[in-house]
Chains A and B, each alone.
Chain A
């Protein structure tokens, strides 16, 4: 149980375009989802926290207009990178918490390359 999927697993897009990444909890309802970013050989940095039906809370320094997060249902959160630039190339990982649990379940990650 407690499986989180991400789609796509990797994506290449041209500079200036937008790309959407999906995060799904497959076998539980995720009251809270988190989005992380990981640069090569670095740690995970929390970008934002989203609760179903409400606006996401962004960490300091993360542009909310650039990284649009929608947590429209209890099993789906999406991250849209708008007007992507090469510096947005990174590994994006989501995680989810269900109910009153404390443990985050992580997705397999999405590698974004902006050319």
Chain B
């Protein structure tokens, strides 16, 4: 069965500092991987996705993620965090093997210090 682990429940970084949010997955075949951001009381916004091809994926808002098959990881990075990046971040895995349904990690809450 597919699963997603986000080891960090809460991360605090200073504005302007770099950011890395960890995501590990378990999936029997080639996974489709996603990162979403959710502001309080809001829906999900897709930051980026990986289906195939280049393992370094560029997303919106200056985010990128790297798919590492050997480590079963899909970590999200941003070189310089802005105060508006404070939100909840979810990693998700899906695929055609499971009727395209998606499993989400527990989420990582990002706090940005001024």
Interface of A with B (CB < 8 Å)?
32, 34, 41-46, 49, 57, 93, 95, 97, 102-104, 106-109, 111
Contacts and interface: CB of A to CB of B under 8 A. Distances in A.
- By secondary structure, the A interface counts as strand
A93 B105 contact: no
A32 B99 contact: yes
Interface stretch (B14-22, B36-44, B75-83): B36-44
B40 to A, nearest CB: 10
B112 interface: no
A97 B101 CA distance: 10
Interface string B85-114: 000001000111001111111110100000
Contacts of B99: 32, 49, 57
5 shortest interchain CB distances as A-B pairs:
A108-B43, A106-B44, A109-B43, A44-B104, A43-B104
Interface of B: 32, 34, 36, 41-44, 46, 49, 51, 90, 94-96, 99-107, 109
Contacts of A102: 32, 51, 94-96, 100
Contacts of B103: 46
Nearest to B103: A46
A109 B39 CA distance: 12
A107 B101 contact: no
